[in-house]
Chain A
Amino acid sequence: MGAIARSPFAHRLTGAGQTPQNENVVIRDLSTLPRIGFKGNGTTKWLSSKVSAVPDVPNKAIALSAGSLIARLGKEEYLVLPDPDAVGNVCSDLEASWNADDASGERRIGYPLPRADSHSWLHLEGRCIAQMMAKICGVDLRSDRLLQGEVVQTVVARISAVLIREMKDGPYGLHMLTDFASADYLWDVLQDASTEFGGGFSWEREDLK
């Protein structure tokens, strides 16, 4: 594929870059990174044969090798995210593996979902994330209520969202996946909600490439 993937937030990432005033709320756009989903009959069994482990119950995420994570969104639905800081081949490998198994006639192995195109991907980090999210989301996301690796499928500012509590050590972090087509709307919502905390989106000149 020769074309370069473009984030739905790309037109907002302008100038030389932006850094919030403080580290209360720092939002990074990860939408250009790979991600993939699987769902349908047989998904759990098939995925279990491809990765080290899958979460044992829905709305949980666990770490895979190389910093990637797998979130279980339903009985037979999963989402795989690579490590944003060291993107490996976990998504493309899984996709290729599924295609090969499908081509060889295996059935009841679920179906891949184009999560890289259906959902934008943001990472929110900082000590005021839960407080900021309380302005736009009706679920209690405070660190002692939403534990590392817990998943919330809910509504944020009236659009559907998948929220995954970051599992890495460090400041409170949240992966937020929402409708790809609502990115422009979401940008304004988050910028507005984070202003009170001196936070906002963060990007560097390199991100504009």
Chain B
Amino acid sequence: MKSATPRKGLLIDASRKLKFTFDGREYEGLSGDTIASALAANREWILSRSFKYHRPRGILTMAAQDANTLVQIGNEVSVFADRHPISDGLTVRAQNVGKSARRDSGFVMNRLSRFMPVGFYYRTFYKPKGIWEKVWEPIIRAKAGLGKLDVTKPTEGYYDKAYGWYDVVVVGAGPAGMAAAIAAADTGASVLLLDENPRIGGALNYARLASERDLVGEAKVHDNIEIWTDAICNAWYADNWLPVLRGNRLHKLRAKQVIFATGLIEQPSQFRNNDLPGIMQGSAAQRLIRLFGVKPGNRAVMLAANDDAYGVALDLLEAGVDLAAICDLRKAGHHGPLRSELTQRKVSILDGWCLYEARPEKGDLHVRGVELAEIDAEGTAGRRRRKIDCDLVCMSVGYVPAYQLPLQAGGKLAYDDAAAQFTIDGQDKGVLLAGSVDGFFDLDDCIAHGAVQGLAAAINCGYKSKRRPALPARDRGSPNHPCPIFPHPKGMDFVDFDEDLQVKDIKNAIADGYRELELVKRFSTVGMGPSQGRHAALATAMLVSKYTNRTINEVGVTTARPPVTTEKIATLAGRKFTPFRQTPMHEQHTAQGAVWLLAGNWLRPAYYGHERDAKRLIAEEVVNARNNVGMIDVSTLGGLDVRGPDAAEFLNRMYTFAYVKLPVGKTRYLLMTNEAGTVIDDGVACRRGENYFYVTATTTGVDRIYRNMLWWNAQWRLDVDIANVTAAYAGVNLAGPNARKVLEKLCDDIALSPQDFPYLAYREGTVASIPARVFRVGFIGELGYEIHVPSRFASELWRAVGDAGRAFGIRPFGLEAQRLMRLEKGHVIIGQDTDGMTTPEELDMSWAVANSKPFFIGKRSLEIRNKTLSSRKLVGFVLDRMPAAGLQESNLVVKNGSIAGFITSIAFSPTLGRVIGLAYADRLDANLGSRIVLRASDGSKHHAQVASPHFYDPENLRQEM
């Protein structure tokens, strides 16, 4: 159905028609329409079904404050239909419905509501034992929830984040917010004025308000004011850190001063069927009329408790709505100018009457009339009644301040029971409140207060001004009714629309002993729905106050926590930043077919070739390095330059071995323990000069070791400088019987004979014309040279070594082959063959501990720990073949039904033709030839023989050749 007459509204462009679908039916709207306004223009009022009883729900606020308007768009759930704009081809579906919002078989739950009193979940579904998990939970889970998210679909759209910095951020661009922004900006402060709506102006855009000042125009042209619309400040965090949602970007703002001019949230009245479509806040009707040119109904009843209601009534009349009656909760005696105007227009005004019941159309699809009742002396619905037919009910009975952000900023909420008004005080010193959120309800007062607060914020930032605007008075009365709640014996007088909670539910919760508001909340779930109690908190507090004979101030309200409104996980995630590091030879590895693995945050070749041939390729790489010559990129190895007169003493303290007497041009193994004597890193120290050590550390450990070194030396104050040069030096390990022959082709200024350059020696010279640090080490147990060069030249080194080795059949090998070959040699990998308790003694590496030194980190602990040795020891073991069940690292070593240890490394050795490994086993089983029992992941047990961990070339003849 199309809108009958052309519409005029502040936000719409009548010349641009758009088509969209809702629940499979096509509708026409205008550019600028929200989904809800466009549907309303088409007289479609049902947007959703309620959570529990599947009652039809429609527009309540038109301000994206309630769960009534949550719909699903594509794979995005719980979108506010009264905020999301329509677009051509947009497909919208109702949530939590059967066939559609209009036709929902789940409405049968409405009839069963009397069998579901508050707290029935806790009582009903837990007996007999076990029935919850087996029967009820699956049923309730299937019924519960709002939208349906397909988690297999990727996130649509691009989300990211940005930082921002301002002197003053003003949240809320209503009259007070605009006045505050202008006042602050006039001093020279940089101001961000943000508002969740598509247009600044706040209530000036839709309410019957007029200001002499053109605040919108002033704010827009001010050089120091940046304006963001459609921007939601969703929280306040310490030091004025504000997350602001704007489109798909999360802005992380820092402000010296924040002004919350967040305004008011209009509250509903509680009467039977107060949730029917066609019953809405007065401000919602005004938004429909002024912003979207939508006539909210044909015949209305206005429920009033303040003078704003009369403005709504006049707006309804001007929009062509027949106003059947105004029902004012207040007794006679309110004679503002707007009321006079209505009286002149012969509108029926019933003072001291309440709305007792709304009568529904069939299926509760819309309101079709109301029953009014005169309020008796006790303030309840009396016996004098009147029935009126209508299709629209507007409520203007009071407000609560939009206190969520101020409360997050440390504000404390108090309630003035006499004035029926909340007050907020005590928020962070960098946070100010402006306008109606701080209890100013008159337009001019709001503007004046905004100016005062804006100036104060700027002055707090250090800006100067001679202006001193006067603070307006606070005694102009409250627009809030003290208790607009009129319970009905048949219920359906909803306090919380999100959770389908009625007056009797709150009453019964209290009767069950939950007298405190926080307990009522947890027992009844009031305020726990998507609208987070915006329309339920005050009504609940009023009921708890009433039924426990306390004031509302004594009862209080529940806490407000971030976020203020819905936010997407995609927004929080933003663009992912996952740093990774590559060696300078990365592209060459790619060209050579590297299969990658991540070591720390480094990408390293695991092996070269196709994944389906992994085992064969790794074995080939091993065999080639063992019998010929191979090359591996070791650039990821940590590198630290330790320089200064105390460099040797520093290493002596940091590591277990002794370095003071290490000759220049020599290397020595490094083993580091922590204060507890646990092994935490290893490497090699190369003495480049009397006062200069080049130290290697494990790939994943170097950053931590570097920090450790700085931390320790901050205390020791040794004359030493430590530089982390990991990225600055790239390395190639050239290994295999033919390694020397390859290097000889590239190197003419380093004597390479075994006598000139023996095992564990360190030399400097050029390799392929590149300045290089070269040392002979044997991690894989073959003749090997580790060549470290400045990173800028590393790809050239890799090319040159490959070219020089081509005649010898050189091939690169990856991390997998290296790990296998070091296992054949029995060299441990720190972190893999060690854990949080490992001592050098358990590794049989006491040879690397210089006990004669006066001090090294962990020495004292090791002395104590070595007096009472642990029950375990790292042992080598062999099996003839890998069991069918497979054995893996971390599989247990068991003995007499207990855990004796675990496997740390295991692999089939292509060199030895059998399975070899390292494992922690009972110390009593550490003797060569002992048998240990390994338990596979499937529980099967397998016997292995303890062997020397130096499985390959135990005499080290090959690496020292």
Residues 94-108 of chain A, each 1 if its beta carbon lies under 8 Å from chain B, else 0:
000000000000010
B725 CB to nearest chain A CB (Å): 6
A102, closest chain B residue (CB):
B689
Contacts of B850 in A (CB 8 A): none
Bound-complex Cα distance A29 to B265 (A)? 54
Given contacts A6-B795, A8-B584, A158-B579, contact A134 B643 (CB under 8 A): no
Contact status of A185 and B728, CB under 8 A, knowing A1-B769, A135-B162: no
- Which of B163, B575, B582, B790 sits near A116, CB closer than 8 Å? B790
Determine if A8 and B791 form an interchain contact, defined as CB atoms under 8 angstroms apart. yes
Residues B163 and A181 in contact, CB atoms below 8 Å apart: no
Q: Are A3 and B584 in contact (CB under 8 A)?
A: no
- The count of A-to-B residue pairs whose CB atoms sit within 8 angstroms is 116
> Is there a chain B Cβ closer than 8 Å to A203's Cβ?
no
Complex contact A185–B579 (CB within 8 A):
yes
- Given A135-B162, A185-B579, check contact A6 B793 (CB 8 Å): yes
Q: Which of chain A's residues have a CB closer than 8 A to the CB of B796?
A: 3-4, 6
Q: Which of A40, A118, A136, A192 has the most CB of B within 10 A?
A: A118
Contact B163 A111, beta carbon cutoff 8 Å: no
Q: B789 CB to closest chain A CB, in angstroms?
A: 9
A182, B721: Cβ atoms closer than 8 Å = no
- Interface locus among A17-25, A82-90, A137-145, A167-175: A137-145
Which residues of the partner chain B approach A207 to less than 8 Å between Cβ atoms? none
Chain A residue with the shortest CB-CB distance to B721: A40
Contact code string B201-223 (vs A, CB < 8 Å = 1, else 0):
00000000000000000000000
On whether the beta carbons of A181 and B602 are closer than 8 Å, the reply is: yes
| Distance between Cα atoms of A34 and B73 in the complex (Å) | 55
Contact residues in A for B795 (Cβ distance below 8 Å): 6
Interface residue? B645 (CB, 8 A): yes
Q: Compute how far the CA of A184 lies from the CA of B162 in the bound complex, rounded to whole angstroms.
A: 22
Contacts of B160 on A, CB cut-off 8 Å? 135
Contact B771 A185 (CB under 8 A): no
CB-based contact B727/A179 at 8 Å: yes
Q: Is A51 an interface residue (CB 8 A)?
A: no
Q: Determine the distance from Cα of A8 to Cα of B582 in the docked complex, in whole angstroms.
A: 9
Within 8 A of B (CB), among A1-54: 1-8, 11, 31-32, 39-41
Taking CB atoms, residues of chain A closer than 8 Å to B790 are 114, 116-117
B721 contacts A107, CB within 8 Å? no
**Contact status of A118 and B727, CB under 8 A, knowing A2-B769, A3-B769, A6-B795:** yes
The answer on a CB contact under 8 Å between A113 and B723 is: yes
Counting CB contacts under 8 A, is A64 at the interface?
A: no
For B767, give the chain A residue with the smallest CB separation.
A3
Q: CA A137 – CA B602 in complex, angstroms?
A: 23
Q: Is the CB of A181 within 8 A of B723?
A: no
Residues of A within 8 A of B725 (CB): 113-114, 117-118
Considering the chains assembled together, what is the distance between the CA atoms of A5 and B770 in angstroms?
Answer: 10
Chain B minimum-CB-distance residue to A135? B162
Minimum CB–CB distance from B816 to chain A (whole Å) comes to: 21
Chain B: minimal CB distance from A32 (Å): 7
* A184 & B586 in contact (Cβ 8 Å cutoff): yes
In whole Å, how far is B413's beta carbon from the nearest beta carbon of chain A? Answer: 33
Q: Is B729 an interface residue (CB 8 A)?
A: yes
Cβ–Cβ contact A184 & B582, under 8 A = yes
Q: Which residues of A contact B582 (CB under 8 A)?
A: 8, 181-185
B164 at the interface (CB under 8 A from A): yes
Nearest Cβ on chain A to B739's Cβ, whole angstroms: 21
When distances are taken between beta carbons in the complex, the residues of chain B under 8 Å from A110 are 721
Tell me which of B587, B644, B721 contacts A11 (CB under 8 A). B587
- The distance in angstroms between the C-alpha atoms of A179 and B581, with both chains bound, is 9
Per the 8 Å Cβ criterion, residues 113-127 of A in contact with B are 113-114, 116-119
Interface digits, A137-168 against B, CB 8 Å rule (1 contact, 0 not)?
A: 11010100100000000000111000000000
Give CA–CA (A104, B279) in the complex, Å. Answer: 92
Q: Considering the chains assembled together, what is the distance between the CA atoms of A183 and B582 in angstroms?
A: 8
Task: Closest A residue to B160 by CB, please name it.
Answer: A135
Give Cα distance in the complex from A119 to B797, angstroms.
19
Take A6-B796, A41-B719, A117-B727 as given contacts and tell me if A157 and B586 are in contact as well, using a CB distance cutoff of 8 Å: no
Q: Is the CB–CB distance between B721 and A140 below 8 Å? A: no
Residue of B nearest to A180 (CB): B727
Most B CB contacts (10 A, CB to CB) among A117, A145, A184, A192 go to: A117
**Known contacts A181-B602, A184-B582; A134 and B162 CB within 8 A of each other:** yes
Contacts of A192 in B (CB 8 A): 575
> Using Cβ atoms and an 8 Å threshold, which residues of chain A touch B575?
192
Using known A-B contacts A158-B577, A181-B582, determine if residue A40 contacts B769 with beta carbons closer than 8 Å: no
Among residues of A, the one whose C-beta sits closest to the C-beta of B582 is A184
Cα A8 to Cα B793 with chains together (Å): 10
From residue B932, how far is it (CB to closest CB) to chain A in Å? 42
Residues in B with CB closer than 8 Å to A32 are 792
Q: Is the CB of B729 within 8 A of A117?
A: yes
Interchain CB contact (< 8 A) of A107 among B645, B770, B792: B645
* Whole-angstrom CA separation of A13 from B417 in the bound complex: 71
Chain B residues numbered 472-501 whose CB sits less than 8 Å from any CB in chain A? none
Whether B581 pairs with A181 at a CB distance below 8 angstroms is yes
Interface string of B708-724 (1 = CB under 8 A from A): 00000000000101010
Q: How far is the CB of A79 from chain B (nearest CB, A)?
A: 13
Separation of A11 and B641 alpha carbons in the complex (Å): 29
Contact with A along B571-600 (1 / 0, CB 8 A): 000010111111110110000000000000
Contacts of B252 in A (CB 8 A): 138
A189 lies within 8 A of chain B by Cβ? yes
The CA-CA distance from A182 to B584 in the complex, in Å, is: 10
Which residues of the other chain, B, contact A40 by a CB distance below 8 angstroms? Answer: 643-644, 721
Given A118-B725, A158-B579, A181-B727; A6-B163 close (CB under 8 Å)? no
Top 3 closest pairs, chain A to chain B, by CB:
A2-B769, A40-B721, A118-B728
A positions within 8 Å CB-CB of B: 1-8, 11, 31-32, 39-41, 107, 110-111, 113-114, 116-119, 134-138, 140, 142, 145, 157-159, 179-185, 189, 192
Question: B residues touching A (Cβ–Cβ < 8 Å)?
Answer: 160-165, 252, 254, 575, 577-584, 586-587, 602, 635, 641, 643-645, 719, 721, 723, 725-729, 766, 768-771, 790-793, 795-797
Given A117-B729, A135-B162, A135-B163, 10 more A-B residue pairs with CB atoms under 8 Å apart are: A1-B771, A3-B768, A3-B796, A6-B584, A6-B795, A8-B791, A40-B643, A114-B725, A117-B727, A158-B577
14 A-B pairs with CB atoms under 8 Å apart are: A1-B770, A2-B768, A41-B644, A114-B725, A114-B729, A117-B792, A118-B727, A118-B791, A119-B727, A135-B160, A158-B579, A159-B579, A180-B584, A184-B582
